[in-house]
Structure 1
């Protein structure tokens, strides 16, 4: 685990311990959103009226600093939904990514498509919390979890009707793909060096179990890359920075989605 990732995980353990004392599991289970019927990201990724893009709302990152802290979550995620995103990814980590639980709640208020809670899950409490704030999918990062933790966390998520996206970066991490993992995401960003190489997705695609939905993450800036990834077996494409670094992420997504749909129609 890289130094920055280890630092984030250590901070996350402290943060979760504090939240558990402020809001008990019983309180989470009484939240209005806890009982809502969740939406299936797997289904939305292949819906003919959608793009397959999981569009991300992210204000900053450890490698890039501030990306865009001038836009509103409802404005951006509403446009993502309106112009064909298959799902939304909302950062809920504060210290390193500038996100919050309230961001996801606000996105949920106006969008009826699947929402991925993008965070560093280190405790089952966060999975229960994800259900209580309106998420449909959780992210598990292979780099910072054991095989046993992935299996247990994925089962807990399924018990709550949440889908699970397991993020990997190497062939060795495929050993952590558990029965209850629904989607396997290939992060093209190396979490130890933060360098990005989209070829990572193409290299790992044939190795991902056939019963898992494939998602390519990071470094996707061109609609032609998506078309190539589709041919390699990917149904999902998690894109955030490419849109968020624009002054108007909503307009950037509208243009990108329009170009993609035009290209797909001409195939």
Structure 2
């Protein structure tokens, strides 16, 4: 079976090297320092937004995926994120990988001044360079995927993200990745999609939540986010009962003619459960 994650990471390394040739790491550090000093783009806490929200939905802006192809090729980042916020989203996830997901950093830069809820830069982050990019364009949080990193790399990138004022959503998929979780991690996301084959199984969230609870003995239990494969309000209701406070949902909304209205209806049905 083709390992999609390995293909993505191999391309990401080439992509970052090319970007560094065009704009040096040192120059990007300087730009990020200006953003931090001026304070014109204050970061919003995604963790706090999810903890305080009645819905906890992280609505995702995604044009395509490696497994499904184009989902919404003409999706506009000046429209859908605004509609998501109006529809009741607690936060936004914006895909910035271009080759495999049809996104770009421009999508965050476009959406940032138009919405007031936190924005997660969702990408395959393996380098400080990408954290600097995220802060400069106005992201509030970044996704770190355990399957892409060693525990040491994950810890180093988490600390760098915090220095930039960014929160970290650590994504795990299997019990073997529970060791990546430490007190520095802001949120833990359980991906219901296998990143090698891209098949989806929501039961993975329930399994991992139970194992995490056992591993921590109920102490210092992180804020949990269930990612991918959530297509019904009933599933969200059950996940909340299992201890999840965040629910990352993209394709369910993006495949419709009006993602914001689809989100609004989803929440309406969920409220009745």
TM-score range with shorter-chain normalisation?
over 0.9
Cα displacement (A) at 1:19: 1.5
Aligned length: 262
Are the aligned partners of 2:233 and 2:269 in contact in 1 as well (CA < 8 Å)?
yes
CA distance in 2, matches of 1:61, 1:119: 12
Separation in 2 of the partners of 1:124 and 1:256? 37
Please, which of 44, 48, 56 is the counterpart of residue 49 of structure 2? Answer: 44
Distance in 1 (CA, whole Å) between partners of 2:44 and 2:204 is 29
TM-score (norm 2): 0.91
> Does the 8 A contact of 1:56 with 1:238 survive in 2?
yes
CA distance in 1, matches of 2:120, 2:51: 16
Separation in 2, partners of 1:83, 1:4? 33
Q: Please report the TM-score for the alignment, with normalisation by the length of structure 1.
A: 0.93
Which residue of 1 is the match for residue 17 of structure 2?
17
On the 8 A contact 1:89/1:117 being kept in 2, the answer is yes
Q: 1:110 to 1:242 in 2, by over 3 A?
A: same
Q: Distance in 2 between matches of 1:126 and 1:28?
A: 13
After the TM superposition, which parts of structure 1 deviate over 6 Å for at least 4 consecutive aligned residues? none
1:124 corresponds to which of 124, 128, 135: 128
What are the ranges of 5 or more consecutive residues in structure 1 without an aligned counterpart? none
Cα distance in 2, alignment partners of residues 192 and 4 from structure 1: 5
How far residue 27 of structure 1 moved from its aligned partner, in angstroms, is 4.5
The answer to whether the Cα contact below 8 Å between 2:64 and 2:102 also exists between their aligned partners in 1 is: yes
Alignment pair present for 1:28 and 2:38: no
Greater CA drift, 214-223 or 169-178? 169-178
- Sort the Cα spacing of 1:92 and 1:203 in 2 relative to 1 into closer, same or farther, 3 A: same
Which residue, 113, 117, 139 being the options, matches 1:135? 139
